[in-house]
Every structure is written in structure tokens, then in C-alpha cells.
Amino acid sequence: MIQIKNSGQIALMREAGRITGEALIVARDHIREGVSTKYLDTLIRQHIEGRGAKPSFLGLYGFPGSACISINDEVIHGIPSEHRVLHEGDIVKIDVGAFYQGYHGDSARTFAVGRVSDEAAALIAATKQSFYEGLAAMQVGNRIGDIGHAIESYVKGFGFSAVRKYVGHGVGRAVHEAPDVPNYGTPGRGPRLCEGMVLAIEPMINQGTFEVRELSDGWTVKTADGALSAHYENTVALTSDGVINLTEVEIGE
Ligand code: MG
Ligand code: MG
């Protein structure tokens, strides 16, 4: 069932969203060659806990980290490790959530480590813009399929593909609520969008095919063809004043 939030609940979610966004800034400010993904995860956890919140993902379905940190052809759900070290030219996806006063925020960004290839930069930029294409379709009376259609048709124009096996979702008292928000879809199909819906819109965009595979660690998801993947996510609320981006922070890419 889709949980509709009132304005008071959305105000609380704004705080959870702010802490989530700040955690991404902390990570961004420490991304450089030689840094381990475990180090970034520790900084993220310290930030979230320092703000009186809890990392949404720590222990979620048994996940061992506070953030999912995925490099290059890893799509999502990378496990932070002291043995995974960033290298010049990598692209690193950080997906983080904060639970505060009963509500979650959920947000992800893809960062470049030093100088990256033109192809990698183009993928990161198109993934970010595809989020905004999807967001523009988040209007009362539209349907979930309009969001996914906007995302997928935008990235197809670059020859990229939207991951199908993993999708966006509702956000609230649980980090993953109904409805699913696929990054593909048919216009005019799916649940109708209405005031009080809070969604994580999160395009996961592959340079090559949309096929993915899960590694034997039980978590990490990679592109099946070994090509790069990028991720961009915000938690957004549909209100009588329009859309509010609850996790928006000034963060660059
Ligand atoms: Mg996320
Ligand atoms: Mg999410």
C-alpha cells in the first residue's frame, strides 16, 4: 500500500533528507586516490550518528556497511572494505540513507576520482540529467510509468541503458516502501501520482546493456558486460506546492 504523508511528516523527512545529503558532501570531500571505501563509509557513519540519526542501510537485510559504495562496473550495493581503494580515473557511486525522527532519506551520487575519461564523464552527466527528466514527470495526475519513460528515453538518446532489475521506491517510515519506481515504463501506466507521495527516484544507468549480475558476496551488483554504470538518486515529495527535493544539497555531481 502506498503511504501518503501529510505536511508535518514531510517536514520531518526534510530533516532526514538533509542529513542524508550532508553525508554525501562529507564523502565527496574525502574522495581521492588511495582512499578506501571503508574509510568513506566510516566518515559517513560518523556524520549521520553525529547528527543524532542512524544509517538507514546498516543492518538493512543484513547489509554490513552504512553506505553502499560501488566502483566503475559495479552498479549498486558495493560493500565498503579497507581492501577496496580508489584509483585515479575511477567513478565511485555512494548510496546513503539516514533515519531520523522516524523517517528515512535515501540519496546517491556518482563521483569522479581525479580525471576520468570523456565517456565516463558523459555517463555521469546523462545519469544526473535523467533524474531531472524523471522528476519533471512527477506531477499530480501523471503515473509512475511516466517517470520511468522519461528517464529511459532520455538515456537511450546517448546509447545508454536503464537498469531494469533494480528500481526506485517509496520512502517513509521504511526506507523501501511501495510503490516501485522503475527507470523504464509506459506513459500513462502504473500507480497514479498524488499529493503526499514521497519517492526515491534513482536512475541506475549503464554504458552498455541493462543486464546486471550479482557477485558471490551476495550483495555487489555489476554490469553483465563489464561496462561502466552510474547512479543518481534523491528522495522527493509531491506536495500542493509542487515537488520538494528532500535530499537536495549543493554537491556538484
Ligand atoms: Mg539509495
Ligand atoms: Mg533508493
Closest-lying ligand to the alpha carbon of 77?
1
Average pLDDT over residues 129-158: 98
Closest-lying ligand to the alpha carbon of 76?
1
Q: How far is CA 4 from CA 7, 88, 125, 172, in A?
A: 10, 44, 32, 9
Q: How far is CA 142 from CA 136, 139, 180, in A?
A: 10, 6, 15
What confidence score (pLDDT) does residue 205 get? 98
| 108 Cα: distance to centroid of ligand 1 (angstroms) | 5
Q: What is the DSSP letter of 208?
A: S
Average pLDDT over residues 130-150: 98
HEC states along 125-149? Answer: HHHHHHHHHHHHCCCCCCEHHHHHH
Q: What is the DSSP letter of 4?
A: P
What confidence score (pLDDT) does residue 106 get? 98
Closest-lying ligand to the alpha carbon of 20?
1
pLDDT in tens, 208-231: 999 999 999 999 999 999 999 999
pLDDT in tens, 90-115: 999 999 999 999 999 999 999 999 99
| 59 Cα: distance to centroid of ligand 2 (angstroms) | 15
Instruction: Report domain extents, the chain.
Output: 7-245
| 61 Cα: distance to centroid of ligand 2 (angstroms) | 14
Closest-lying ligand to the alpha carbon of 98?
1
Average pLDDT over residues 140-168: 98
pLDDT in tens, 48-62: 999 999 999 999 999
User: Is the confidence at residue 253, as pLDDT, over 60?
Assistant: no
Closest-lying ligand to the alpha carbon of 177?
2
| 217 Cα: distance to centroid of ligand 2 (angstroms) | 20
| 202 Cα: distance to centroid of ligand 2 (angstroms) | 6
Closest-lying ligand to the alpha carbon of 93?
1
What confidence score (pLDDT) does residue 153 get? 98
CA–CA separation, 154 vs 131, rounded Å? 10
CA–CA separation, 220 vs 230, rounded Å? 14
CA–CA separation, 143 vs 120, rounded Å? 32
Strand-pairing partners, residue 192, are 143
| 32 Cα: distance to centroid of ligand 2 (angstroms) | 25
| 76 Cα: distance to centroid of ligand 1 (angstroms) | 9
What confidence score (pLDDT) does residue 252 get? 53
What confidence score (pLDDT) does residue 249 get? 79
User: Is the confidence at residue 251, as pLDDT, over 70?
Assistant: no
User: Is the confidence at residue 197, as pLDDT, over 90?
Assistant: yes
CATH of 7-245, one of 3.40.50.2020, 3.40.50.1820, 3.90.230.10, 1.10.10.10: 3.90.230.10
